[in-house]
Amino acid sequence: MISLEQARTRISLDLGVLPVVEVPVGEALGMVLAETVKASESIPPFPNTAMDGFAVRASDTDGATSDSPCVLPIVATIAAGTVAPRPMQHGEAMRIMTGAPLPHGADAVVMVELTRTEGDDVFVLDSVPVGNHIRGVGDDVQAGTEVVPQGTVLTAGHLGVLAGLGRTQVKVYRRARVGVMSTGDELVEGAQPLKPGQIRDSNRVTLLNLVAEAGCEPVDLGLIIDDEDVIRDALQVGISQCDAVLTSGGVSMGDYDFVKAVLSELGDFNWMQVAIKPAKPLAFGVMGDTPVFGLPGNPVSSMVSFELFARPALKHMMGHTSTERPRFTAAARTDLVRTVDGKVHFQRVVAEVGSDGRWTARSAGGQGSHQLTAMAAANALAVLADGSGVVEGDDVTIMYLG
């Protein structure tokens, strides 16, 4: 067996980074920015009001109180998207809506809650300082400043900033197209009754969605029978269309060698027994320029193997510098027991963070590599070094999946 770190090192040696492409801003969520974006203009581009109210000269409100209000004639109304018909004079007020440009001559805004109106007059019930409730030019972004640095993983907020600057396209590292196939004569799809020895294929649906969750473009390569020619054809289709391929099943020591035979024929593969539980068997190699991950067939093993090996690799290919799931120290709320076997165990747990900011973790249920319901209930993996595990109240490292 080899260590988890050794297995990851073998994979990393064969990974490159995908090309830079230009995509519409609206399609770049979660992608890694491949340029530094500087503001071509200021946001906001004009002084505007942060409140519904009345544009005034601050000096006109000096001494105003609810008992002795300042009375000003309302000479115009300025809605968002419109401008004042003329400059505002001393002793006047203009009704103004949030986001509307401040009229020339005004230097403050009185929010509507501090006023009352009678006919065409506004009664200002409190004095306001110069600049009150006014957003100045460049209050959010100054023209020429760096707003989003290269290497940023683009969030909805970043995309809003880019749209606000008038950007319609952005340079990013391309999303990985990732093909997923399941192999095995025992697998079937759909709701038809199972024949003796058959099980329904859950891995492909699971992996396709994990691929999508990782920010990649999933490609369904289908359910493949145990036939060398069929497996070969499916893999060749996958590597011709995809940036990476995931197979599920056929990589453990006791499996039929159809997948092994084809992968060995088509590429330079490492057949690894990794000192972890679950997900000990792993195949990895490159077919042409396309990395291929041979994941184990047990459902939980397949998912854990994806998290430990495929997901970080795919993130790296898409330009991410941080490729790992976050890890925290948590207090165990239940015993997390294990046996001594020379492996690192990844137990499925439910993790929560309390009002004090401390994480806790409890077992999500059965820990067998076939028990997918416990994996579905889990939002973290407890990392248990070789030994007897931890008891309730002890600290444990968790890998957060939520």
What is the pLDDT, as a whole number, of residue 249? Answer: 84
Residues 336 and 274 in one domain: no
Asked if 226 contacts 183 with a C-beta cutoff of 8 angstroms, the reply is: yes
In a domain, 191, yes or no: yes
> Mind listing the pLDDT tens digit for each residue in 309-332?
999 999 999 999 999 999 999 999
How far is residue 184's CA from residue 206's CA, in Å, rounded to a whole number? 16
Is the residue at 76 inside a domain?
yes
Please answer whether residues 318 and 32 qualify as being in contact, where contact means their C-beta atoms are separated by less than 8 angstroms: yes
- Share of residues in the chain with pLDDT > 70 (%): 99
Structural domain for 34, as ranges:
20-44+139-173
The pLDDT tens digits for 217-249 are 999 999 999 889 999 999 999 999 999 999 998
Based on the domain organization, do 288 and 366 belong to the same domain? no
Name the nearest CA neighbour of 156 among 21, 40, 325, 25. Answer: 25
Do 239 and 355 belong to one domain? no
188 and 301, same structural domain? Answer: yes
Beta strand 199-200 pairing with 187-188: parallel
β-pairing, 93-96 with 70-78? parallel
CATH of the domain at 271: 3.40.980.10
Tell me, yes or no, whether 240 lies in a domain: yes
In this structure, are 335 and 206 located in the same domain? Answer: no
- Segment 84-137, tens digit of pLDDT: 999 999 999 999 999 999 999 999 999 999 999 999 999 999 999 999 999 999
pLDDT at position 267? 81
Whether residue 306 is found in the same domain as residue 360 = no
322 in a structural domain: no
Tell me, what's the pLDDT at 265? Answer: 86
- Say whether both 242 and 144 belong to one domain: no
Residue 226 lies in a domain: yes
On whether residue 185 sits in a domain, the answer given is: yes
Final residue in a domain of this structure, among 298, 317, 336: 317
Percent helix, strand, coil in the chain, to 5, is 20, 35, 45
Q: Do 367 and 310 lie in a common domain? A: no
pTM of the model as a whole = 0.88
Structural domain includes residue 278: yes
Average pLDDT over residues 41-47: 94
Check: CB of residue 181 under 8 Å from CB of residue 189. no
Show Cβ contacts of residue 118 under 8 Å, excluding neighbours closer than 6 positions: none
Same domain as 128, residue 75: yes
Residues 288, 203 share a domain: yes
Query: What CATH number did the domain enclosing 147 receive?
Result: 3.90.105.10
Question: pLDDT of 136-179, one tens digit each?
Answer: 999 999 999 999 999 999 999 999 999 999 999 999 999 999 99
Show which of 267, 283, 317 is a domain's final residue: 317
State residue 251's pLDDT score: 74
Q: Using only the alpha carbons of the chain, give its radius of gyration.
A: 31
Out of 135, 155, 183, pick the residue that ends a domain: 135
What total number of domains does the chain contain?
4
pLDDT digits (tens, 9 = 90+) for 355-372: 999 999 999 999 998 899
- What does the pLDDT read at residue 94? 98
Question: What is the residue-averaged pLDDT of the chain?
Answer: 95
CA atoms of 220 and 240, how far apart (whole Å): 14
Q: Residue 18 has which token pair?
A: 């995908």
- Is 168 in the same domain as 30? yes
Check residue 379 and give its pLDDT.
98
Same domain, 207 and 161: no
**Is 92 within a domain?**
yes
The per-residue pLDDT for range 253-304, each reduced to its tens digit, is 655 568 888 888 888 888 899 999 999 999 999 998 999 999 998 999 999 9
> For position 113, which CATH number holds?
2.170.190.11
Question: Rounded distance, CA 184 to CA 247, Å?
Answer: 11
